[in-house]
Homo-oligomer: A and B are copies of this chain.
C-alpha cells in the first residue's frame, strides 16, 4: 500500500480525540492556570501570530490524542512555529513561565510521548516542513523536523537517490519525530535506524539556545555525539528543528518473497539462512491471525497455496535481485513461496504486512508493545506470550508482527481497558526475562517508562538522569516521558 490505509486511520483521529474529551479525562481549567495561560498565549502569539496559538478545545483536539486513542489529555494550548528562531523564542517564553512543553511531529507515535499528559504546552513542529535541495556529491539533504517521511523520500528519488528508512505511516510521520524516537521501519536490517541516517542536527535546548551541527562534513567528528544523543531522546533533551540526512544509491531492481512457515523457529532459521546467502533489505514476520484480520478487512485473497502458522516477507534489492532472492530460496529448499518482481506485484505482497496496523486498530484500542528479543529467544517468546495474554481475560487477543531480521516484534494486545496495565506489565517482564529490550523503534514514551528499570540498571538510569538534569534542569521538555519516575 502507499499509505492510504493508514491515512484512513489518521482521519479518524478527530473522532478518537472527541471520545477522549467526552470521556471525562479532560480536567476543568483552574482559574489561575487559565489566567496564566492567557498571558503565556499572548506572548507566544507575538512570536508566531495569533492564528498559530490554538486555545479552543475543538481546534486543539487533533493534537491531543494519539491515533490509537490510548494516550492523550488536553494541552494548555497548541503553538505552531514556522522557524527555528520561533521555536527558540517559544522555549524561552515557556522557560520563563515554567510551562512544560510536549514537542510533536506527525502525531503518529505509539507510546504517548508526543501528546500531553496534562496541561502542557503542545509544540507542533509540522510547519517546519522545508526540504532542501539534494547535495548529490555529499549524498545528503536537510529537512525541517515537520517534513514527512514521504516528502523526504520524494526529494531523494527526484535526485536519483533514496532515503534508507521506510515505514507504513510515511505520509504522516515527520522526520523530527522519527529522529526523536529513533524509528526503525522495514529496512532497518540493511540500513539501521534513523540515528544511522543522521549527518547533522539542529535543536533548541531547554534554555532556548540553538545547537547546530548541520554543516559539518559527513565524517567530521569532534566532541561529544550530541547528534546521536538527541536521536532517541524523545523530546526530553531538546526540540529537534532540522536534520541533515544521508541518502543512499537508488536500487532499480527489487524482488519480494512471501514464505509460509509452520513456526517462529522455522522463520528464524529462514531469516538466518537468507542473511547468510545474500544482502537482505527487509525481513518481516506476521502470523495467521493477523492475516485473517487483514483479509477480512481488505478482501485480499489468500497469498499462498496453503494456510500457514506464520509468514516471512523478504525483500532483496540491487543488481540481480530476483536471481539472488530466487537462488537463496531454492538453496533453503522452500516450496510454498510467492515471488514478486513487478512493482504492483511487490506492493500486493507488502500490503498483507502493511495493512496489519490498520486492521488491528479497527478491532479496538490496542495496547501496542514494541519489543526486541535476541533472535535465539524469539520462538520462546512467541510461544509464551500468547497464553500469557489469554490468561488475563477470555476476551484478550494478542496479534504479533514485526521486523524479524532484527528480533523486533510488535505485540498488539486487544481486549483490555486503556488504563489497565496488568498485561503490559506481564509482557514486558517476559521480554526482560528472555534477555530482550522493552523498547525497539517506538521509544519508551509515557507508556513504558515505569518498566525501563527491567532492562536498564540503576547506574544506567542515574547516568541518564544526570544528563537530563544537566541539559534541562527545570524539567521543561517532555516531562513524564522516557525516564522512570524517581524512586
- Once bound together, how far apart are the Cα atoms of A472 and B440, in whole Å? 29
Q: Are B217 and A436 in contact (CB under 8 A)?
A: yes
A175 to chain B, nearest CB (A): 17
> Which B-chain residue is minimally distant from A464 (CB atoms)?
B224
Contact with B along A136-165 (1 / 0, CB 8 A): 011000000000000000000000000000
Let me know if A49 is at the binding interface, CB within 8 A: no
In the complex the two chains form, is A467's CB within 8 Å of B471's CB?
yes
For A460, list chain B residues within 8 Å (CB): 211-213, 223, 226
Q: How far is the CA of A90 from the CA of B212 in the complex (A)?
A: 38
Q: Which residue of B lies closest to A482 (CB)?
A: B223
In angstroms, Cα B456 to Cα A138, docked, is 21
Complex Cα–Cα for A196 and B470 (A) = 26
Q: How far is it, in angstroms, between the C-alpha of A303 and the C-alpha of B438 when the chains are bound?
A: 55
Q: Is the CB of A225 within 8 A of B223?
A: no
- On whether A219 and B471 interact (CB within 8 A), knowing A225-B231, A229-B228, A376-B137, the answer reads no
* B437 and A221 contacting across the interface, CB-CB below 8 Å: yes
How many angstroms between the C-alpha atoms of A91 and B195 in the bound complex?
A: 32
Question: Chain B: which residue is nearest A219 at the CB level?
Answer: B406
Expressed in whole angstroms, the Cα–Cα distance for A483 and B279 within the complex equals 41
A225 with B435, Cβ < 8 A, contacts A218-B407, A219-B372 known: no
Bound Cα distance from A464 to B237, whole angstroms: 13
A108 at the interface (CB under 8 A from B): no
Docked Cα-Cα span, A188 to B374, in Å, equals 27
Is A276 interfacial (CB-CB < 8 Å)?
yes
Q: Which residues of B contact A233 (CB under 8 A)?
A: 224-225
What is the total number of copies of this protein in its complex? 2
State the CA gap A460–B229 with chains docked (Å): 13
Distance of A438 Cα from B219 Cα, bound (Å): 11
| Residues on B with beta carbons closer than 8 Å to the beta carbon of A374 | 138, 217
Task: A96 to B219: give the CA distance in the assembly, Å.
Answer: 39
- Contact (Cβ within 8 A) B205 A459: yes
Query: CA–CA, A217 to B432, complex, Å?
Result: 11
Inter-chain contact B470/A467, CB cutoff 8 Å: yes
Contact check, A440 vs B221: say whether CB atoms are below 8 A apart: yes
User: What 0/1 readout, one digit per residue, does chain A (466-483) give for beta carbons within 8 Å of chain B?
Assistant: 111111000000000011
**B462 contacts A209, C-beta separation under 8 Å:** yes
* B212/A457 in contact, CB under 8 A: yes
Looking at chain A's contact residues, is the secondary structure mostly helix, strand, loop, or mixed?
A: loop
User: By the criterion CB–CB under 8 Å, are B436 and A225 in contact?
Assistant: no
Q: CA A446 – CA B13 in complex, angstroms? A: 54
Whether A467 pairs with B224 at a CB distance below 8 angstroms is yes
A403 at the interface (CB under 8 A from B): yes
> In whole angstroms, how far apart are the Cα atoms of A471 and B440 in the complex?
26
Which chain B residues lie closer than 8 Å to A436 at the CB level? Answer: 217, 220
Any B CB within 8 A of the CB of A222 = yes
Given the known A-B contacts A373-B217, A463-B205, are A222 and B407 also in contact in the complex, defined by CB atoms under 8 Å? no
Q: How far is the CA of A457 from the CA of B223 in the complex (A)?
A: 11
Q: A204's closest neighbor in chain B, by CB? A: B459
Instruction: Name the residue of chain B whose CB is nearest to the CB of A238.
Output: B463
Residue of A212, A228, A469 ringed by the most chain B CB atoms within 10 A: A228
Structural contact, B221 and A439, CB atoms closer than 8 A: yes
Would you list which residues of chain A between 225 and 271 have a CB under 8 Å from chain B?
225-226, 228-229, 231-233, 237, 249, 268
A66 interface contact, C-beta 8 A: no
User: With an 8 A cutoff between CB atoms, is A210 at the interface?
Assistant: yes
Chain B residues with CB below 8 A from A467, complex form: 224, 229, 467, 470-471
User: Are B217 and A407 neighbours in the complex by a CB distance under 8 Å?
Assistant: yes
B219 touches A407 (CB 8 A): yes
**Residue A375, interface by CB 8 Å:** yes
Is A215 part of the contact surface with B, judged by Cβ < 8 Å? yes
Nearest Cβ on chain B to A343's Cβ, whole angstroms: 23
What 7 new A-B contacts, CB under 8 Å, besides A220-B455, A223-B232? A211-B457, A211-B463, A218-B372, A219-B441, A221-B372, A225-B231, A466-B471
List 9 A-B residue pairs with CB atoms under 8 Å apart, sorted by A's residue number: A138-B376, A217-B375, A217-B407, A220-B436, A222-B438, A222-B444, A223-B483, A226-B463, A249-B279
Q: Which 10 A-B pairs have the closest CB atoms?
A: A220-B437, A222-B439, A470-B470, A228-B228, A219-B406, A466-B470, A209-B459, A217-B372, A219-B372, A220-B372
